[in-house]
């Protein structure tokens, strides 16, 4: 019969891995910065398991992601900056503060609120509370409007967060049609850059086009990162069908023209792939 371990066992295990005399050489070499790529990879693997509805592997991937938090907590303890208990305490404090509709008197053991809020009210309260937190930092000279949006986020996700934050102070269009006009403007500038042959300008204008498209997605209630992930999966399915047709023919890819391959693609679309 296998043992059932607890979070305390996990933190103990982590301390053993980092023991200067008897620990694991690989773990001992790591720093806050060196394990960031592993953290990002584990987060993506969690997302991938959820998208595939692979619940067995999701259990494992969540454990791997939790281990990243435990690793940071151990490093924080060793450098006397924080530890796992302070991470948990700060998190609970913040979540109680940000959920007054659940904890109306501001304590963890608060009795339930008398009236359930609507989704819109909850969202508005959440944004108001977060804005107050930012205002407090700004008043102390600790932050600016776009601060604390992580640089390491995927580009599309970070673009959404930048735009939403700017929107909260009134820097935003109020009509999706205006965003479409902006996309047309950026496309025209991209065409000019392409014609100029200046690759740096092309890259810059291409970024502007993508940023404007993200803005349109936001106004339409579509998360661009999720939309692109869905399109990637659709492309994989349809391309897989094209590849199956090429293999079934016994010919090489080079034996087919683009028009012929495109016909296979259209068949895949007709099949709903």
Q: Among all chains, which residue has been given the structure tokens 């683009």?
A: 258
Summarised one tens digit per residue, pLDDT across range 129-159 is 777 777 766 666 667 888 878 887 888 989 9
Q: Among all chains, which residue has been given the structure tokens 């992580």?
A: 150
CA atoms of 94 and 197, how far apart (whole Å): 51
Summarised one tens digit per residue, pLDDT across range 23-74 is 999 999 999 999 988 998 899 899 889 988 999 999 999 999 999 999 999 9
Quick check: helix, strand or coil at residue 48? helix
Mean residue pLDDT of the chain comes to: 91
Tokens of 106: 């501001």
- How many other CB atoms sit within 10 Å of the CB of residue 16? 12
CA atoms of 229 and 101, how far apart (whole Å): 34
Q: What angle do CA 25, 26, 32 make, to 5 degrees?
A: 120
Helix axes 199-219, 176-196, angle to 10 degrees: 170
Contacts of 188 (CB under 8 A, 6+ apart): none
Residue pair 50/58 in contact by the 8 Å Cβ criterion: yes
Summarised one tens digit per residue, pLDDT across range 159-204 is 999 999 899 889 999 899 999 999 999 999 999 999 999 999 999 9
CA atoms of 187 and 137, how far apart (whole Å): 38
Q: How far is CA 163 from the centre of its chain?
A: 15
Tokens of 151: 């640089």
* Residue, of 85 and 124, whose pLDDT is higher: 85
Question: What pLDDT is attached to residue 195?
Answer: 96
- Min mean pLDDT across 81-95, 96-110, 140-154, 216-230 is at 140-154
Question: What pLDDT is attached to residue 129?
Answer: 76
CA atoms of 61 and 44, how far apart (whole Å): 9
CA atoms of 183 and 210, how far apart (whole Å): 9
Question: What pLDDT is attached to residue 138?
Answer: 65
Task: Output the pTM of the full model.
Answer: 0.63
- How many other CB atoms sit within 10 Å of the CB of residue 190? 18
- Assign 4 a pLDDT band (cuts: 50, 70, 90): very high
Question: What pLDDT is attached to residue 110?
Answer: 87
CA atoms of 180 and 164, how far apart (whole Å): 18
């Amino acid at each position: 019969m296998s043992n059932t371990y607890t979070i305390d066992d996990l933190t103990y295990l982590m301390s053993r891995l980092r023991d200067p005399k008897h620990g694991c050489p690989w773990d001992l070499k790591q720093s806050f910065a060196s394990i960031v790529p592993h953290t990002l990879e584990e987060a993506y693997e969690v997302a991938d398991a959820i998208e595939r509805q692979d619940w067995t592997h999701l259990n494992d991937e969540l454990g791997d992601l939790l281990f990243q938090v435990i690793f940071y907590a151990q490093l924080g303890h060793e450098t006397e900056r924080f530890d796992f208990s302070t991470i948990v305490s700060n998190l609970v404090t913040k979540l109680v503060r940000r959920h007054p509709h659940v904890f109306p008197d501001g304590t963890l053991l608060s009795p339930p609120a008398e009236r359930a809020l609507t989704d819109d009210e909850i969202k508005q309260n959440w944004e108001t509370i977060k804005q107050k937190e930012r205002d407090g930092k700004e008043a102390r000279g600790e932050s600016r409007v776009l601060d604390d949006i992580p640089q390491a986020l995927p580009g599309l996700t970070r673009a959404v967060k930048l735009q939403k934050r700017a929107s909260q102070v009134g820097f935003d269009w109020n009509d999706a049609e205006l965003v479409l006009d902006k996309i047309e403007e950026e496309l025209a500038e991209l065409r000019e850059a392409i014609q100029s042959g200046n690759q740096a300008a092309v890259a810059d204008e291409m970024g502007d086009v993508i940023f404007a498209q993200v803005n349109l997605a936001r106004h339409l209630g579509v998360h661009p990162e999720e939309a692109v992930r869905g399109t990637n999966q659709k492309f994989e399915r349809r391309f897989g069908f094209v590849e199956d047709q090429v293999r079934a023919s016994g010919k090489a890819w080079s034996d087919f023209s683009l028009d012929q391959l495109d016909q296979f693609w259209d068949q895949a679309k007709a099949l709903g792939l």
